[in-house]
Amino acid sequence: MDTEWLDKAEESGLNFYAFRLPGGDIEYGASSMLAPGLVPGGFAVAPWLGLPVSILPSEEEMIPCHTDMTVSLPDSTSREAHEEAVRSVVSALGGDVNAKAVISRVERAIRPSSLGRLFSILCQCYPGSAVFCFRILNGGTWIGASPELLLRRRGNEIETLALAGTRRAGSRGPWDAKNLREQQMVTDYISAWMQEEDIDPEIGERETRAAGPVEHLATAIHGRLPLGWNPERALKSLAPTPALGGYPKNRALSLIKQNEAHHRGYYGGWFGPVRENGDFDFYVNLRSMLAGEKEVALFVGGGITSESDPAAEWEETCLKARTMKMALGDC
């Protein structure tokens, strides 16, 4: 894919996608056709707390179109507002170290002249992430570099990643107790989900994984699928994991609704290709931005626990925002 393809796709009135999985080649397609659910040969996208829709690639000509496919951008979140939201969640958790809620914020920036150029830079800078750009009717144009695998299927085998905890890349010494507990919540949640799906989880060793300017704790989890397994139903119960929502789920989602002033849209949802044989690679939509006509809205968040410090949580979101801001600076 040359960098001009994405720019031509955006000028058209079509839904489109382009992605590069870690270690893979760039794949892309555009179409006016959308279908509900996971469609073999399509590219599936799911919004925050929403159902997936597949973009079905076609041979339609990408003719420049005056149809406005942009959506309104949320306002930037001030530091004061974000820290107040963190304090509110810490208070609501009441000292429960086994609970958390992920609170996100928005930061506006000048839009680059070429999304194709930005996509190419992200591919170069983040080889271990899933780089993506898609536009979907009424959902807007999203672009980012996600380090978080939600679920991968290869035949009768599935794989996922319990990813949580954040610190500056290259930090020395052991992880602190807060981050260790936060990541363990995700591992425990996914393991319990697999057991409910009649899958015996095979849990790997916890390790540190770099993701641009930050690093996370990660545990790979594998399992073998039972007969008659329904991926759409399973994904509905899996997402969002505690890494993007919190734990316990219903309590965390309630706290997010109370303390975030913006709508997440497709941030915190997931995306990825569905192969003709039913295999898929779904990644969480994070380290991403929503593109408007003249500006972009960067979305970043962090897991808030009863031990969280509002100022430290703000700084963590600033570190995460650098993933996209560094790429924007090169455009």
Tens of each residue's pLDDT in the chain, 331 residues:
777 999 999 999 899 999 999 999 999 999 999 999 999 999 999 999 999 999 999 999 888 887 777 789 999 999 999 999 999 999 999 999 999 999 999 999 999 999 999 999 999 999 999 999 999 999 999 999 999 999 999 999 999 999 999 999 999 999 999 999 999 999 999 999 999 999 999 999 999 999 989 999 999 999 999 999 999 999 999 999 999 999 999 999 999 999 999 999 999 999 999 999 999 999 999 999 999 999 999 999 999 999 999 999 999 999 999 989 989 987 6
Structure tokens at 68: 């406005």
Closest-CA residue to 153 (of 225, 52, 45): 225
Predicted pLDDT at 3: 79
* DSSP run (H or E) holding 141: strand 140-146
In sequence order, the 6+-apart residues with CB closer than 8 A to the CB of 81 are 105, 261
Closest-CA residue to 53 (of 240, 272, 277): 272
| Domains present along the chain, CATH in parentheses | 3-329 (3.60.120.10)
φ, ψ of residue 33 in degrees (nearest 5): -95, 130
Predicted pLDDT at 69: 77
Amino acid at 252: A
Structure tokens at 157: 């085998």
Closest-CA residue to 288 (of 277, 275, 300): 300
Amino acid at 298: L
Predicted pLDDT at 329: 84
Structure tokens at 122: 């992200």
Q: Taking the chain, what is the end-to-end CA distance rounded to the nearest angstrom?
A: 18
**Angle of helix 177-196 relative to helix 231-238, nearest 10 degrees?**
150
